[in-house]
Amino acid sequence: MPEKDINLLSKEEFENKPIGKFLSWALTAGKWITIIVELMIIGAFLFRFKLDNDLGNLNQSIREKQAIIENDSAFEKDFRQVQQRIITIQKLEKDQTKILETLSSISNTIPSGVILINLSMDKKICNLKGSALSESALGYLINNISSSPKFTNTTIGNVTKDIELDNGINFNLTTEIK
């Protein structure tokens, strides 16, 4: 017996009906949507390989830079220590220059007939302990220090007669350094 083709839905009538038109459109559009989605998935899969490669390169770059930083950290530490030492030395040189200028000013104000026994200084105060052979020598010393532009607020204390020196006077003098 020969085969017969049996079609329960007639093509002409079904395609002309609204549901047939919709199904025909949906099947055609569905194929294209499926193809586009599959292409997007393949593209995302390939892009993932690129991102993995970029991530590996970035991690390698970070490791290299960390190694450089770790190697340079000892140098940086030494450099900072040297900088700190330079700052300390500059400060000491500045203080030493100020002390030398103050000592020079003091030596210029001491008249003959005055002997210093002790001299102490800090940043703002200078204490002189000494002996003067006469009252006039002590007066010249006080006048010279008081009139010097390097010193202010000069005070004298503990003025006593020196037993060892005839007419000698022991004194303590305090002045502020400008």
Q: What pLDDT, on the 0 to 100 scale, is given for residue 37?
A: 95
CATH 3.30.70.2830 fits 110-177, yes or no: yes
C-alpha dist (Å) from residue 22 to 9, 11, 32, 34, 37: 16, 14, 15, 17, 21
**Residue-wise pLDDT tens digits, 11-35:** 566 677 788 788 888 888 989 999 9
165 contacts 131 by C-beta, under 8 angstroms: yes
pTM of the predicted model as reported, rounded to 2 decimal places? 0.50
pLDDT tier at 98, thresholds 50, 70, 90: confident
**Residue-wise pLDDT tens digits, 116-147:** 899 998 888 999 999 888 888 888 998 999 88
